Structure 1
């Protein structure tokens, strides 16, 4: 270990108050001990910052691995829904213009049979995919328990 010496350091009176407080709180006998204590605390904080950054990096890596597919699916579903909404709005607008329809009928008042069939088909499709997902999760859980 290379030893060095500091002959003279000028610090403000506020810093000197803090220096003396550290000296008394930590029951240190010399100014050199206070300086060594402060340097060690600084190094520990640096090490802690590095550990914290590594933890953040590990968390972000795990998060992106676990949720990347979910967010990709969500992005795709959002884009597809937006496109379908635009197509449907254009189609309905065309029908309304061609048939010169002036008033709208809320679905709550009267649901056309085509809309009712579409809703029922959608419900069956959602139930099918939910069951398939439940089956996959069950099989995965069973394999983990083996």
Structure 2
């Protein structure tokens, strides 16, 4: 049976890496997909969340190991297996053929954000300069942080 699925979702926790007894590298992570739709009154309604446990192998596993909680990704996979997770919620386990960072809601990035150091400066698009620790939500934007010595 041939089955391919493409899903977009956010990681619920950072990717975890390991090796099998035979030495084959794998990385696994869980995605949550929440769909929204408009009801008959035109209001947005959140659909029930769907969870996916994603397994990657070999070179792909090495490439996705830096994904962290909250990263939005698109996964192409197959070999679906339904089960109930530890919380009793229905979950699908799938083996990924490809994983890419989604840019639908934000700029592309993968891996841990750049940690700020004392003395880092944020320059806004208007040219204003602030200490990075004053605006931590901006300081995680790699384009704006400038390290000073």
Which TM-score applies when normalising by structure 2? 0.17
User: Which structure's residues are more often strand, by fraction?
Assistant: 2
Which TM-score applies when normalising by structure 1? 0.17
Higher relative contact order (CA 8 A, sep 6+): 2
Q: Which has the larger radius of gyration?
A: 1
User: Which structure's residues are more often helix, by fraction?
Assistant: 1
